[in-house]
Chain A
Amino acid sequence: MIGLSISNIFRHKLRTILSVLGIMLGVASLIALVSVVDGLRFDIEQAFSKAQGARVTPLESSDPIFNFLDEEWAKKIESVQGVKVAVPVIIQAAKTVDGEEQDFFNAVRILGIDLSSQARATGSGFSGELLEGRDFRPSDSGVALIGKKIKDDYDKFLGTKINLNGSSFTVIGVYTTGSDLLDASVLLPIDDARGITDFPVGKISYLNVQFTNPSEDQRVVERINLIYGDEINARSLNDFSSQFGSIFDSVTLLVLLIASIASVVAAVGIINTMLMSVLERFKEIGALKAVGWTRGNIVKMVLYESAFIGILGGLMGIICGYAASFAISLFGLTTVVSSSLIIGSFVGAVVIGIIGGMYPAFIASRMDPVEALRTE
């Protein structure tokens, strides 16, 4: 019966191809979109997996740009048992870079780091690795560490100046986190950062906390939250999900929403194709019933047909989606096509095919065999 169903859907090639195309486009765009989101997630997870310690923010903080925390918290957190150092950080969006106006949402971020505290910490004030140049020294002033993306975008190299909000800083190092998103930042000594932004006096954005024993970080985080939990919030830095998880979950949800709209469109296309197909075959279907096919047999035949459209659309969508995802990666974005994405979208395509075939199958199964014998 499968052979029969396959031969049936190729009776009207163009019509079948169009509904296959509907599914294919849905699957391909889903794979391309999700692969970009997963790629971004992968990049940031990579960056965070290297990070150690914790971050202390005000309660209910969204973007650290909007956080204001009293400076005194640094001392309070450092007095918690197990905490080695709490480095005050301020973060602001740059208004101009080399005289170029910044769009707020895509602005270069200026991070001011308290260098005297940072000196007591292990590692750097950034997550990732130093590509060239050197890290800050406690006495540094008027110097900047730039992310790789800034270096590429603004053509900087060691020793050149970078102008931020009208003040110039000498580039002493370039670092990378592996993620373009996190590499679009400039690190300055905290006083320099205060000098060029209107950050409120006595306030900071957050604290980077390091622990005496890194393996104990989760326990110390819990301790901080136990003591000060009703005023501030401490989160482990390598706990990616608490940092970015919810943002990515919303983005994934949005992509799935778009995909489900595409699915409905594709399903309507299949319903239309299959309905036309069974309606014009009423005599043939009637004849099948006359020669002993049950309603169930007819339903099965039609569902095989629509499922096959789904299978075809799914396979072609996977190929095109994979190709699109690869093409996107050529532009420098990380894309991740997971096997669960491929399997999920294929199963989805087949399910849409079957759902799209249900109503036409029902109509076909109710066709009257007498119609098959009626003379034109």
Chain B
Amino acid sequence: MVGIVELQNVTKRYVMGSTAVDALGGVSLLVEKGDFVVIVGPSGSGKSTLMHILGTLDHPSSGNVLVDGKNIASLDDWDLAMLRRKKIGFIFQSFNLIPTLNTLENVMIPTEPLAFGKEGLEERAINLLKKVDLGNRLLHRPDELSGGQRQRVSIARALINDPEIIFADEPTGNLDSVTGKNVIELMYGLNKKEGKTFVIVTHDQSLLEYATKKVFLLDGKITKIEYKKAAARKGEKK
């Protein structure tokens, strides 16, 4: 298996006045193609910080972050933006859709700055929205959608660039349990059928049953990583 993102002994220290807080204290983790990584931990365990660093949004205080074998410490802001544009998708807890744009436009927003190569994008966005069961909501604004629908829009948005890896930060955090389950099943289906790599950060232990890699985080350290063969996952037991 090829490592898409690898953390090598990563630490993150926040200094506030005279006190220093170690949000991450020496974390090593390998995310491979086709993984469905679920990182769980109580609040304050450093899981959000971990995801920001995995997603190249934040730099570690020490240690290395490798994306496709390349150390991102050598990349500047522009390179990182390009890296995220081409290889990474994000799903946020609070969706972060643009309220003035309709569903279709929101899905296409990551491609908006492209000067060329936009041919077929709209068709692709429509297909993605059909895939997340929003084919009949293309022209709706976010405020005309339910929470679950909005999160499915943001899943489609995360997929528009055909990224190698998708990060989701508490994707079910703002949703009721039934809707949350639908959303997670959708991501799971994308992983199983299309081999999309997911890294999900959550405090919701119930998501662990979908994981190929269960990562337990406490006080900025990984306490345990459990690997599960794909065949042993939910729905594949039989």
Residues of chain A at the chain B interface (Cβ within 8 Å)? 1, 4, 7-8, 10-11, 283-284, 286-297, 300, 368-370, 372-376
Contacts and interface: CB of A to CB of B under 8 A. Distances in A.
B85 interface: yes
Contacts of A293: 81, 85, 110, 112-113
B121 to A, nearest CB: 14
Main secondary structure of the interface of A (DSSP, over half): helix
A267 B77 CA distance: 30
Contacts of A373: 48, 51-52, 57, 90, 92-93, 169
Contacts of A292: 81-82, 84-86, 88, 110, 113, 161
Interface string B68-97: 000000000110011011101110111010
B100 A370 contact: no
A12 B98 CA distance: 14
A290 B55 contact: yes
Given A290-B90, A291-B157, A294-B81, A372 B58 contact: no
Nearest to A365: B77
Nearest to B170: A375
B233 to A, nearest CB: 27
Contacts of B89: 291
Contact of A375 (B48, B77, B100, B113): B48
A372 B169 CA distance: 11
Contacts of B48: 373-375
Interface in B89-118: 89-90, 92-94, 96, 98-101, 105, 109-110, 112-113
A373 B51 CA distance: 10
A20 to B, nearest CB: 18
Contact of B100 (A11, A289, A374): A11
A372 B94 CA distance: 9
10 contacts: A289-B57, A289-B81, A290-B84, A291-B84, A292-B88, A293-B113, A294-B82, A296-B78, A300-B113, A373-B169
Contact of B113 (A297, A368, A370, A376): A297
Given A292-B110, A372-B96, A287 B90 contact: yes
Contacts of B157: 291
Contacts of B82: 292, 294
A374 B43 CA distance: 12
Contact of A4 (B55, B81, B96, B112): B112
A355 to B, nearest CB: 23
Given A7-B101, A291-B84, A369-B57, 6 more contacts: A1-B112, A10-B100, A283-B96, A297-B81, A297-B112, A374-B48
Most chain A Cβ neighbours within 10 Å, of B52, B90, B93, B113: B113
Most chain B Cβ neighbours within 10 Å, of A7, A287, A300: A287
Interface of B: 48, 51-52, 55, 57-58, 77-78, 81-82, 84-86, 88-90, 92-94, 96, 98-101, 105, 109-110, 112-113, 157-158, 161, 169-170, 173
Contacts of B101: 4, 7
B79 to A, nearest CB: 10
B58 A370 contact: yes
In the A-B complex, the 3 residue pairs with the closest CB atoms: A292-B85, A287-B96, A7-B100
A370 B84 contact: no
A7 B100 CA distance: 6
A29 B95 CA distance: 46
Nearest to A3: B105
B156 to A, nearest CB: 12
Nearest to A8: B100
A288 B110 CA distance: 7
Contacts of A7: 100-101
B93 A375 contact: yes
Contacts of A10: 100
Given A373-B48, A373-B52, A294 B170 contact: no
A300 B113 CA distance: 9
B75 to A, nearest CB: 12
A223 to B, nearest CB: 67
Contacts of B112: 1, 4, 293, 297
A136 to B, nearest CB: 75
A43 B133 CA distance: 72
A219 B173 CA distance: 91
Contact of B85 (A4, A291, A369): A291
Contacts of B58: 370
Contacts of B88: 292
A277 B51 CA distance: 28
Nearest to A369: B57
A370 B49 CA distance: 9
B52 A370 contact: yes
Contacts of A290: 55, 57, 84, 90, 92
B94 A375 contact: yes
A290 B51 CA distance: 12
Given A11-B99, A369-B57, A373-B48, A294 B77 contact: yes
A295 B57 contact: no
A196 to B, nearest CB: 75
Contacts of B158: 291
